[in-house]
């Protein structure tokens, strides 16, 4: 569905990003994963290469909140592959800190990785996507619909991701660039492993499909939205959440 397309996935070293990289590689794309550290990036690249030595995979670790670093990175990727078709803004950090304890430092950390990086990467990728009529995909969250009982800036950041998605879809449609988001429900990754059991168990009970999401559930949605099968879909936030309602 995406054969020979060149896809950049931020936060591609584990969880949803890593599974999406795997799914895209299996479907013939060339994938560049971004992570925060050299060793985790190298480990993820090695893991995927071990699964199939023909996979065209590369890993980089730019500062996602630094415009020059991203500009340079995209330029290098374009010079290696000759094109860029897909950007997935997936890197993110969560929070469940109560408002009284929420420091300005944590506010800035969440804002920087969950919003600023999406803004910078989306801005800097546009010249390349104009050439290919490519697509931007963002990882939102179910909490962008319902909020969350603690960690206020996490859901707030995902409301912002939806705003960026819907607005850029309208701004970039004249160039043939589609912009969509996937809003996962609770999904089995390290991010969730770090949350207390007391928070997870009651949540699973409220999911009508009766299970927590797998990273592959989210990767499948990204694959569809990146492919030509979604060529008339833009400005959408697709819930992949087992019909969860909170």
Positions annotated as catalytic residues are: 154
Cα of 204 vs its chain's centroid, Å: 23
Q: Toward ligand NAD, which CB reaches closer, 112 or 132?
A: 112
Q: Which residue ranges make up the site for ligand NAD (CB under 6 A)? A: 11-17, 35-36, 64, 90-94, 113, 139, 141, 184, 186-187, 189-192
Q: How far is the CB of 106 from ligand NAD (least distance, A)?
A: 13
For residues 34 and 120, give the distance between their C-alpha atoms in angstroms, rounded to a whole number. Answer: 14
Work out the burial of residue 69: count CB atoms within 10 Å of its CB; fewer than 13 is exposed, 13-18 middle, 19 or more buried.
middle
Count the neighbouring beta carbons within 10 Å of the beta carbon of residue 139: 27
Q: How far is the CB of 214 from ligand NAD (least distance, A)?
A: 10
Both tokens assigned to 111: 């804002």
Q: Toward ligand NAD, which CB reaches closer, 132 or 204?
A: 204
Q: How far is the CB of 53 from ligand NAD (least distance, A)?
A: 23
For residues 28 and 11, give the distance between their C-alpha atoms in angstroms, rounded to a whole number. Answer: 20
Give every CB contact of residue 128 below 8 A, 6+ residues apart in sequence.
74, 78, 83, 84, 134
Q: Toward ligand NAD, which CB reaches closer, 64 or 223?
A: 64
Contact 122, 89 (CB under 8 A): yes
For residues 184 and 213, give the distance between their C-alpha atoms in angstroms, rounded to a whole number. Answer: 8
Contact 43, 12 (CB under 8 A): no
Q: How far is the CB of 13 from ligand NAD (least distance, A)?
A: 4
Q: Toward ligand NAD, which CB reaches closer, 184 or 242?
A: 184
Q: How far is the CB of 68 from ligand NAD (least distance, A)?
A: 16
Q: Toward ligand NAD, which CB reaches closer, 43 or 83?
A: 43
What angle in degrees, to the nearest 10, is found between the helix axes of 67-81 and 117-132?
Answer: 30
């Amino acid at each position: 569905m995406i054969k020979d397309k060149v896809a950049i996935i931020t936060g591609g070293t584990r969880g949803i990003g890593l599974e999406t990289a795997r799914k895209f590689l299996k479907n013939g794309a060339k994938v560049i994963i971004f992570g925060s550290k050299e060793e985790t990036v190298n480990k993820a690249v090695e893991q995927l290469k071990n699964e199939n030595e023909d996979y065209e995979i590369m890993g980089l670790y730019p500062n996602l909140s630094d415009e020059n670093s991203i500009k340079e990175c995209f330029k290098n990727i374009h010079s290696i592959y000759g094109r860029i078709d897909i950007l997935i803004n997936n890197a993110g950090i969560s929070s469940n800190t109560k408002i009284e304890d929420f420091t300005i430092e944590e506010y800035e950390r969440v804002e920087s990785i969950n919003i600023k990086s999406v803004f910078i990467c989306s801005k800097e990728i546009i010249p390349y996507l104009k050439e290919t009529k490519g697509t931007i995909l963002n990882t939102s969250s179910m909490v962008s619909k319902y909020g969350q009982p603690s960690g206020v800036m996490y859901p707030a950041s995902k409301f912002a991701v939806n705003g960026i998605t819907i607005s850029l879809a309208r701004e970039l449609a004249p160039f043939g660039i589609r912009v969509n988001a996937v809003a996962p429900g609770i999904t089995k990754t390290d991010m969730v492993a770090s949350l207390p059991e007391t928070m997870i168990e009651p949540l699973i009970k409220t999911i009508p499909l009766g299970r927590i999401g797998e990273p592959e559930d989210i990767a499948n949605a990204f694959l569809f939205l990146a492919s030509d099968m979604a060529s008339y879909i833009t400005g959408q936030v697709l819930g992949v959440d087992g019909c969860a309602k909170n």
